[in-house]
Structure 1
Amino acid sequence: MSITVATAGLSILLTTVNLTTLSLAAMRLSRHERLPVPRAIPPVSVVIPARGVERFSDETLTSAFSLDYPDYELIFCVAQDSDPIIQVIERHMAAVPHIPARILTGDDRISENPKLNNCVKGWDAARNDWVVLADSNVLMPADYIQQLFASWEPDTGLVCSTPIGSRPDGFWAEVECAFLNTLQARWQYAGESVGQGYAQGKSMLWNKPFLDGNGGIRALAAEIAEDAAATKLVRRAGRHVHLANSPFEQPLGSRTAKEIWSRQIRWARLRRVTFPALYVPEIFIGSGVAILSAMIAATNAGVSVPAAAAAVMLVNYVPEMALAARKGWHTSPLQPVAMLARDFMIPAVWMRGWLAGEILWHGQSMDIRPKSQDELDNPSLA
């Protein structure tokens, strides 16, 4: 087989896969339509680990205190008593005193995952059988809880939501949107549509008796990423991970190239450790390899290389933009360029993900090795 045929065939194959996942995600996703409060209203505990004051902290806190749900409590978990976010939370608690809310401080060292450690006290203190673990940078719509419950089915072990990037400030924040939305969210929804749902730690709706009956929140320390551990725990129990029909917004603000690179490397290495078989083909996601293959084929065939590259980009990026527009996600004239930057970062990120090195989360080193049961039972052995 000639290089021309092989590279052209690879480009066509990867483009076909790309369009297939876009189609699957488009069919699975719903544009957000506000859901009413159901008649059967189980009380819900919303556990929010918080650390530091961020650009959108006031807005995300306001959303948490404004949910259109009559019976929920908020439990804010902060590792350090001196964290300035405590004062911000207390101000919101004073402004909305009718919403039951508590701040718990302290750091339960059950794992190398700082966020999971921060959540333990909130999980233990939750009064209700339904618990949402929600990151502090999630912008919750008024029907946030209803949206999560709407995806709960008889075979469900966990409902979660991937974040959708919004309000980017600058080019590299546009690249972050391109990673989060029409790449990562798209692949997650495409996977769930064929029965391969994977947990995402941004928003998790748990039935507390179910998780407690399968090792409790401490069982999520089996993997460095709590969402990977959650996926495996749910599957071992014979249940499925389902996604919210319409994912929730994460306002981004500004980002730097260094921040994007560091975050993507951390996530890549976590995926490589937790789901190694799935990590191997990740170099082919996006459109970078398809574009390069088309350029090689065009060079060998003696046709216009720019025209071949432009054709592949057009076929791949127009449907991506259409998906974002159809679902009400962020779109801008910069997005095609941001998608191109993203797709040529992916092979570099993938290769770096195989290399050893320290993983830092908020300046804290993380041991990414999977933990044995003995290490879970006795954290001092880890």
Structure 2
Amino acid sequence: MPGTASLLLAIFFLVLFIVVWSLCLLGWRTARIRYAHPTLPSRLSSLPSTSAPGVTIIRPLCGLDQNLYNTLESCMTLDYPKYEVIFALQDENDEAIPVVRMVMEKYPEIKSKIIIDSTKIGVNPKVNNLLRPFQEASYDLLWVLDSTISVTSGTLGRSIEAFLSNHTQYSSPDDPESSPLMSAADDVRKPPISGEVGLVHQVPIAVVYQKTWGSLIEQAYLNTTHAKMYLAINAVAVDSCVVGKSNLYSRSNISELTTPSPSLRSLPNPPTGLAGYSPFLAEDNMIALGLWHQLNLKHAMTSDVACDFLGALTVKDYIDRRVRWLRVRKKMTPIIATLLEPFTESILAGLYGSWAIKRLLGANIPALFLVNLTVWLLIDLSTRKALETNIKNFKPPSNIGFFILAWLARECLALPIWLLAMTSDIVVWRGRRYKIISSGMSIFV
């Protein structure tokens, strides 16, 4: 019986090992195909403003985030004929406001404004920040960009192309006069309907100027493991997988959504639209899930990345960030996904994979483990190189030796961080303590 049990366990682990490696290779292959070449300019960039869909860019801000001036400036120099920018804050004394004014003064030709509104309808400060901009946006198409995110000039045009790629009301931009996409008089456009693309997002890539160990480890995580899995899951497309660093969607679609909270949905008049997501810290992921499941809208990605500028993080800062989002995610996903997550990491996968192969086929476990870790590192380095192809002007030169050391530290910390995340449901975000409850909702503690 023990022999049979170990045989069955070895078969299970071998299958899991193959699945994990398949996802890794799919993410790597997607990165090489989609990002490892110069991006092509969008055809929409050459359209007159009367023919291009208008877009409202919303930048929710709170304080002086890393490289703030440059990240805000990147949305004022876009190669796109028709857009406005709203800078959203909740405090008239916010330190970000002088930086915003400098950017606006440098680009007076770009339609932009500051909205300051202290309204709070829930625990999520970003949702509170977005409420008025959603109402006052001139256009139905909204592009929400986090304060630490910088983009290349062609990102918006390519995002609009992806957004409109299979809309029934869309005609090719090569023939703008015949396009029923919008009315030139008032820029009224039908929102996406079931089966069409309802959200466009980019994979986030970390950029580090202040090279502390915490920021280097976070960069190693985002530019390899996170990116691979993010690309693989979106390539399989069996469910929504979106982070809110850079999201383009229709305001009309958001207004159709009902809160995902089971308790709130049971009310006679459950909250709808953006307000329905105010109890969730991971509102970006929940909104994407709502578009996917409630409205049956697909998600799309472009060949662009969202450059996320990291500050001078300590190792503790890195651990706290990972623990925070693991604690949020474990309340949002099925328990089996949470339990299996450590088995997708290189070290644990190498251990159980090597043992399974030894048990079934006979092999040297240390040799197999070292081969697994070496090939995993090479795949991650190749993924990182592909993703950085078009952002060389955004980032400083990197030291491959330091990157590998940070990568090894990230891999060694993965399991301890997961174990720590499982011990509590309390998180700290921007100085406030929250308890994560059922379905990912949050309450102040």
Whether TM exceeds 0.5 here: the answer is: yes
Give matches, 1:182-197, under 5 Å: 182-195=224-237, 196-197=239-240
Summarize the alignment of residues 248-267 of structure 1 with structure 2, pairs less than 5 Å apart: 248-267=306-325
Q: Tell whether 2:361 aligns with 1:311.
A: no
CA offsets 1:92-115 (integer angstroms, 9 cap, x no match): 111211111111112332221111
Which of 9, 19, 22 is 1:17 aligned to? 22
- Tell me, in whole angstroms, the C-alpha distance in 2 between the residues paired with 1:362 and 1:238: 33
Residue 276 (structure 1) aligns with: 334
Cα pair distance change 1:91/1:336, threshold 3 Å: same
CA contact (8 A) 1:151 1:243 kept: yes
- SS of 1:80's equivalent in the other structure is coil
1:292–1:75 Cα change, 3 Å: same
From 349, 353, 358, give the equivalent of 1:290.
349
C-alpha spacing 1:12/1:242, structure 2 compared with 1 (3 Å): same
Aligned residue type for 2:298 = H
1:18-57 superposed matches below 5 A: 18-26=23-31, 29-31=34-36, 33-36=39-42, 37=45, 39=47, 40-57=51-68
Instruction: Tell me if 1:180 matches 2:222.
Output: yes
Structure 1, 49-58 or 104-113: larger mean CA deviation: 104-113
Query: After superposition, what is the alpha-carbon deviation per residue over 1:26-61, rounded to whole angstroms, capped at 9, x for unaligned?
Result: 366334514231534111111111111133011112
Q: Does 1:6 align with 2:48?
A: no
Q: Identify the residue that residue 242 of structure 1 maps to in structure 2.
A: 300
CA offset digits 1:142-170 (Å, max 9, x no partner): 11211322322431121122310123513
After the TM superposition, which of the residue ranges 331-340 and 238-247 deviates more from structure 2?
331-340
Say which SS state the counterpart of residue 348 (structure 1) adopts.
Answer: helix
1:275-300: CA deviation from partner (whole Å, max 9, x where unpaired): 23432321122202023336768999
Tell me the TM-score normalised to structure 1 length.
0.87
Cα shift at 1:133: 0.9
Equivalent residues, number: 376
Paired amino acid for 1:321: L
> What residue in structure 1 maps to residue 199 of structure 2?
158
Q: CA deviation at 1:359?
A: 1.4
Using the TM superposition, give the Cα deviation of residue 73 of structure 1 relative to its aligned residue in structure 2, in angstroms. 1.0
**How much does 1:360 deviate?**
1.4
Look up the equivalent residue of 2:234 and give its one-letter code.
E
Number of the residue aligned with 1:321: 381
> Which amino acid in 1 is paired with 2:276?
A
Alpha-carbon distance between aligned partners in 2 of 1:203 and 1:86, rounded to the nearest angstrom? 21
Aligned residue for 1:232? Answer: 289
Structure 1 residue 87: Cα displacement: 0.9
Structure 1 segments unaligned to the other structure (5+ residues): none
Post-superposition CA distance 1:306-344 (Å, at most 9, x none): x44321211211111112213326862333332222222
1:208 to 229, 242, 251: 251
Contact kept, 8 Å, 1:22 with 1:319, in 2: the verdict is: no
Question: In structure 2, what is the Cα distance between the partners aligned to 1:291 and 1:371?
Answer: 32
Moved more, 1-10 or 22-31: 1-10
Q: Highest Rg: 1 or 2?
A: 2
Call closer, same or farther: CA 1:48–1:302 in 2, change over 3 Å.
closer
The letter for the 2-side match of 1:286 is E
Per the alignment, in what secondary structure is the counterpart of residue 360 of structure 1? strand
Q: Cα–Cα, structure 1 residues 64 and 370, in superposed 2: closer, same or farther, change >3 Å? A: farther
After TM superposition, the structure 1 = structure 2 runs for residues 139-158 of structure 1, keeping only pairs within 5 Å, are 139-152=150-163, 153=165, 154=167, 155-158=196-199
Query: Percent sequence identity over matched residues?
Result: 22
Correspondence 1:95 to 2:153: no
| 1:224–1:367 contact (8 Å) kept in structure 2 | no
SS of 1:90's equivalent in the other structure is helix
Q: Shift of residue 232 of structure 1?
A: 2.2
Counterpart residue number, 2:132:
121
Name 2:148's counterpart in structure 1: 137
Q: Is 1:356 matched up with 2:424?
A: yes
Higher alpha-carbon deviation: 15-24 or 43-52: 15-24
Between the aligned partners of 1:232 and 1:132, the Cα distance in structure 2 is: 17
Root-mean-square deviation (CA), in Å?
A: 3.2
Counterpart position of 1:107:
118
Residues in 1 aligned to 2:136 and 2:384: alpha-carbon distance in whole angstroms: 39
Q: How does 1:76-91 map to 2 (within 5 A)?
A: 76-91=87-102
2:275 matched residue in structure 1: 218
Q: Does residue 63 of the first structure (1) align with residue 74 of the second (2)?
A: yes
Further displaced range: 221-230 or 312-321: 221-230
How far off is 1:370 after superposition?
5.0
1:334 corresponds to which of 402, 406, 411: 402
Q: Deviation of residue 357 (structure 1)?
A: 4.0
The letter of the residue matching 1:157 is G
Contact 1:48 1:134 in 2 (8 A): yes
Deviation at 1:138, TM superposition (A): 0.5
Q: Which structure 2 segments of 5+ residues have no match?
A: 168-195, 258-271, 390-394
Higher mean alpha-carbon deviation, 124-133 vs 20-29, is at 20-29
CA distance in 2, matches of 1:285, 1:142: 35
2:180 is matched with which residue?
none
